[in-house]
Amino acid sequence: MDLAAFRASLAAPAPPQDLSLALQALWWDAKGEWDRAHELAQADEGGVGDWVHAYLHRKEGDAGNAAYWYRRAKKPVSKDPAAEEWSAIAQALLAPAAKG
């Protein structure tokens, strides 16, 4: 799946079944379901979910908590607008190398 197909799937009532927990979290976040997205990111602790977890806390305005999760994810704290960061994370997680 590419980013365009991922975005198109947002018209459905539920995410595609083959998505990772981190991508499901981004999907629910895009639907305005922050709490559901947060639960899924937490469930993927120690994986790419840490990056999504960081993004979610940054988006909610909790910079300290976000910084902790960015460190865990080994990613720099993003300065981009939330929508751009969402796209960048989704694109990275949808890339074939991220599936391994």
Could you tell me if residue 13 is inside a domain? no
14 in a structural domain: no
Task: Flag whether 15 is in a domain.
Answer: no
pTM of the model: 0.92
Residue type, 34: W
Which tens digits make up the pLDDT trace of 38-95? 999 999 988 899 999 999 999 999 999 999 999 999 999 999 999 999 999 999 999 8
Q: Which domain holds residue 57?
A: 20-95
90 within some domain = yes
Number of domains present in the structure of the chain: 1
What backbone torsions phi and psi does residue 2 show, to the nearest 5 degrees? -105, 180
Instruction: Specify whether the CB–CB gap between 16 and 9 falls below 8 A.
Output: yes
In a domain, 48, yes or no: yes
Secondary structure of residue 70 in the 3-state scheme: helix
Query: In this model, does residue 100 exceed pLDDT 70?
Result: no
